[in-house]
Structure 1
Amino acid sequence: MATYAIGDLQGCFTPLMVLLETFHYNPQKDQLWFAGDLINRGPESLETLRFIKSLGNNATVVLGNHDLHLLAVSRGHSALKRNDTLFDILAASDRDELMEWLRQQPLCHYDESLNTIMTHAGIPPCWTLEQTLSLAHEVETQLKSDKVDDFLAVMYGNTPQRWDNNLAGMDRLRAITNYLTRMRFCAVDSTLELKAKEGLDTAPEGYAPWFSYPSQLPKDCHIVFGHWAALEGITHSNTIHALDTGCVWGGSLTALRLDDQQLFSTPCTIKRKEL
């Protein structure tokens, strides 16, 4: 039995099938982790979502910003953006079933036996393991409840920029969501900078990649995340694993075998869409 963590799919179903063949995925023995952004921008979002849902207990998913965007659009709290490729899902006969499954997925997953935690964007340096799991659960509870629309209606936005334990209401939920699904650069006090999206050496003044600061997580805890394709998988850390290698932008799709840290990759045949 092995566990493989896979970076942002964004509707790249065909490369996923090739990647599974590359490491000889065995559905009777192996587990697959998906680091969020299952859909959008790629051409096979519906096929991707249906396949991952069909994996049942073989799949562990955390939600990314594109997944949350799909939920918001499906419930009338946002409009499709110019580069979205979500129409097939929204028009599908099993749309409601897919959306119900999606909103049951967590924002964070921790496996003690593997000493590994996964979120879409990472873990802010000011949060402990217990705090991360607890705060993620607050948003997950809202998504699963009959108050889901209250949250999705005000989910978008870049404020509050800095975590404060006294945050309350929708500001608190939005801050948690931004840290777990949108974070790239932050300041030493974990203040978020959500506009910059390029690589390691492009941090605005006063900011740095979130993983460059000392972590409050247990010693040697591995962090698996996606979201940041411009990193090209590079973090200069043996325990911080960036798995978004830009498949939807013409890069590659990457999986990390968590049992021994071996990487597997397959090129993506999809050319980047014009922004």
Structure 2
Amino acid sequence: MADYAIGDIHACLGSLDSLLQTLDFDPQHDRLWLTGDLVGRGPQPVETLRRVRDLGDAARTVLGNHDIHCIAVALGAGRQRASDRLEPLLAAPDRDDLIDWLRHQPLLIDLPESGYTLTHAGIAPQWDPATAARCAAEAEAALQGDNLVGLMNHLYGNKPDRWSESLTGWARLRFIINAFTRMRFCRADGRLDFSCNGPPEAAPKGLYPWYATPDRRIDGTTTTVLSGHWSRLGCRQGPGYITLDTGCLWGGQLTAVQLDRSPARFTQLDCRTNGASA
């Protein structure tokens, strides 16, 4: 049995299928752990959601920011952009079932047997593993609860940008979901900064990639965080983190890492341009 984590798919099902063929993936024996953004801007949102859902226990995904935006659009709480390419999903006969399945996916998956934690964007610098798990469970309960439309109507925005246990209500949930799905850079005090999405080497002074923020609580001694979301960062590995979004959507690569090997083994598939618009 092999365990593979795979970076952002963005509805590029052909690339996923090709990578799984390269890996000789067997759903009867192997498992996939996906970094989220199953949909958004790619050509096959309906088929991608169906494929991952139908893999059952052989595939688990966390929610990405594009997945959550898709839920909001489907509920009428988010503004659809032409670049989202969600029309096939919104018109699908099983759209409600797919959206319901999507909203029941977690924000964080802990893999203690292999020493990894899976999220879409990363883990806020102020959170230790226990706090991250507790915050994820809190937001997941809201995403799966009876007032999903209310949550989606209050979700968009960059504030609050710093964690505090005193946060309550929609502001608290917005920070938690932003940290798990939108975070890239932080200030030295752990404040989230959404002004930049380029590589760390090109960032303005005073911005740190989330995994290199001073006094970060997860440093690799407790768990290694697997994340996607940041295609201009690419595949990097360091103390306590592995990043896996390598821009498949933009004609880059789709990256898998085999987690049950030591050291972890990477496989990358070159992706043809998927017709994404900026």
Shorter-chain TM band = over 0.9
Partner residue, 1:266: 269
**3-state SS of 1:231 partner:** coil
Partner residue, 1:223: 225
Unaligned segments of structure 1, at least 5 residues: none
**3-state SS of 2:117 partner:** strand
Q: Using a 3 Å threshold, how does the CA distance of structure 1 residues 262 and 6 change in structure 2: closer, same or farther?
A: same
Distance apart, 1:272 and its partner CA: 5.3
Task: Output the CA distance in 2 between the equivalents of 1:86 and 1:273.
Answer: 12
Partner residue, 1:160: 160
Q: How does 1:118-197 map to 2 (within 5 A)?
A: 118-197=118-197
Partner residue, 1:67: 67
Task: Output the CA distance in 2 between the equivalents of 1:59 and 1:197.
Answer: 29
Task: Output the CA distance in 1 between the equivalents of 2:170 and 2:135.
Answer: 13
Distance apart, 1:220 and its partner CA: 5.0
Distance apart, 1:46 and its partner CA: 1.1
Unaligned segments of structure 2, at least 5 residues: none
Partner residue, 2:199: 199
**3-state SS of 1:47 partner:** helix
Question: RMSD in angstroms over aligned alpha carbons?
Answer: 1.3
**3-state SS of 2:225 partner:** strand
Bigger drift between 265-274 and 134-143 goes to: 265-274
Task: Output the CA distance in 2 between the equivalents of 1:229 and 1:115.
Answer: 24
**3-state SS of 1:123 partner:** coil
Partner residue, 2:244: 243
Task: Output the CA distance in 2 between the equivalents of 1:207 and 1:27.
Answer: 41
Q: How many residues align?
A: 274
Structure 2 residue 15 is the aligned partner of structure 1 residue 12: no
**3-state SS of 1:72 partner:** helix
Bigger drift between 173-182 and 203-212 goes to: 203-212
Identity of aligned residues (%): 41
**3-state SS of 1:63 partner:** coil
Distance apart, 1:50 and its partner CA: 0.6
Q: Using a 3 Å threshold, how does the CA distance of structure 1 residues 60 and 206 change in structure 2: closer, same or farther?
A: same
Maintained 8 Å contact 1:203/1:209: no
Kindly provide the amino acid, as one letter, of the partner of residue 122 in structure 1: G
Deviation per CA, 1:109-138, whole angstroms, max 9, x where unpaired?
Answer: 001101100100001221010000000111
Distance apart, 1:188 and its partner CA: 2.0
Maintained 8 Å contact 1:142/1:151: yes
**3-state SS of 1:230 partner:** coil
Distance apart, 1:238 and its partner CA: 5.2
Q: Using a 3 Å threshold, how does the CA distance of structure 1 residues 238 and 264 change in structure 2: closer, same or farther?
A: farther
TM-score by length of 1: 0.96
Partner residue, 2:235: 233
Task: Output the CA distance in 1 between the equivalents of 2:87 and 2:212.
Answer: 38
Q: Using a 3 Å threshold, how does the CA distance of structure 1 residues 61 and 174 change in structure 2: closer, same or farther?
A: same
Distance apart, 1:205 and its partner CA: 2.6
Kindly provide the amino acid, as one letter, of the partner of residue 233 in structure 1: C
Partner residue, 1:255: 256
Task: Output the CA distance in 2 between the equivalents of 1:272 and 1:13.
Answer: 13
Kindly provide the amino acid, as one letter, of the partner of residue 246 in structure 2: T
Task: Output the CA distance in 1 between the equivalents of 2:26 and 2:274.
Answer: 30
Task: Output the CA distance in 2 between the equivalents of 1:274 and 1:127.
Answer: 35
